[in-house]
Amino acid sequence: MKLMHPLLSRPLELGRNRVPVLAVESPQLFRQWVLDLSGQSQGEEGNWVLSCQDEVLDCGQHLLVVSDLLHLSLEDRKLHHRFQTLVHSLMWEELEVESTHLQQSIQGYLARLASQIPVPVEYEEGDAVWPLLKGLKFQPVLDGVSPLERLTQYLELYHQLMPRPCVLLVGMHLYFSRQELEQFYQMALYEKWNVLVLEPHQCPPQPQEQWCIIDHDGCELRVDSPGEIP
């Protein structure tokens, strides 16, 4: 998978044997790129181009931007839609008999309840199982203890529910130690996740990282090994 912008000399390649890290030293450009990528991940137009095997992908469907690594929100319409689709599939395929029985029981209960109430009532007679699950807040949850565990669970969830996601993580070096970064990178590379790290400045590099640095003057430096970083 590749991510390209007109200001870059060549695309950033994701999902290979290194995790790409894009360091943007200009605060204005860093801020603008975070806003642009966040907007495109929500379906807005922009200059970033995401592709896989020469096929241009819709950023609104495939791009996930995580700008707050300590407070991971599951209130995302794409996630909810995918989760609802998964639940419906399980309900009416794997658990068809049980779901049909529950549907009939709920409708029978509502009909009996309506007959006992001394005032006119109405209710929808369609699918009653999903509204029940929704009312009970049947939804994904992150139960990891540490921030790194929750981040890993978060990305596992997205990779299970979304097709070919590209994940942009903002400020990994600000929140995680070298040992935590190494642990995360090992899993990301093993799972072949398409992960890009965006940083506001250069950081001590990890062996699993491949850096692209945009300095304050807009000059680009590509670094293939940690020892090459000035």
What is the domain-level CATH number for residue 148? 3.40.50.11940
* Residues 194, 156 within the same domain: yes
* Residues 8, 66 within the same domain: yes
Share above pLDDT 90 across residues of the chain, in percent, rounded to a whole number: 80
Contact 165, 66 (CB under 8 A): no
Nearest CA to 205 out of 20, 31, 27 is that of: 20
Between β-strands 220-223 and 63-66, what pairing exists: parallel, antiparallel or unpaired?
Answer: unpaired
- Output the six-digit token pair for 118: 């001394």
Sequence-distant (6+) residues with CB within 8 A of 55 are: none
* Residues 23, 106 within the same domain: no
Mean pLDDT of the region 205-229: 85
Tell me the three state secondary structure of residue 199: strand
- Output the six-digit token pair for 54: 């020469």
Residue 106 domain boundaries? 79-135
| pLDDT range class, residue 127, cuts 50, 70, 90 | confident
- Output the six-digit token pair for 73: 């929100």
**pTM, to two decimals:** 0.86
pLDDT in tens, 144-202: 889 999 999 999 999 999 888 999 999 999 999 999 999 999 999 999 999 999 999 99
* Residues 145, 130 within the same domain: no
CA 172 to chain centre: 15
* Residues 130, 145 within the same domain: no
* Residues 114, 214 within the same domain: no
Q: What are phi and psi of 198, to 5 degrees?
A: -115, 125
Q: Is the dihedral of CA 199, 202, 203, 209 positive or negative?
A: positive
Q: What are phi and psi of 46, to 5 degrees?
A: -175, 180
pLDDT in tens, 97-113: 999 999 999 999 999 99
* Residues 86, 125 within the same domain: yes
Contact 34, 65 (CB under 8 A): yes
Number of domains in the chain: 2
pLDDT in tens, 18-45: 999 999 999 999 999 999 999 999 999 9
* Residues 55, 147 within the same domain: yes
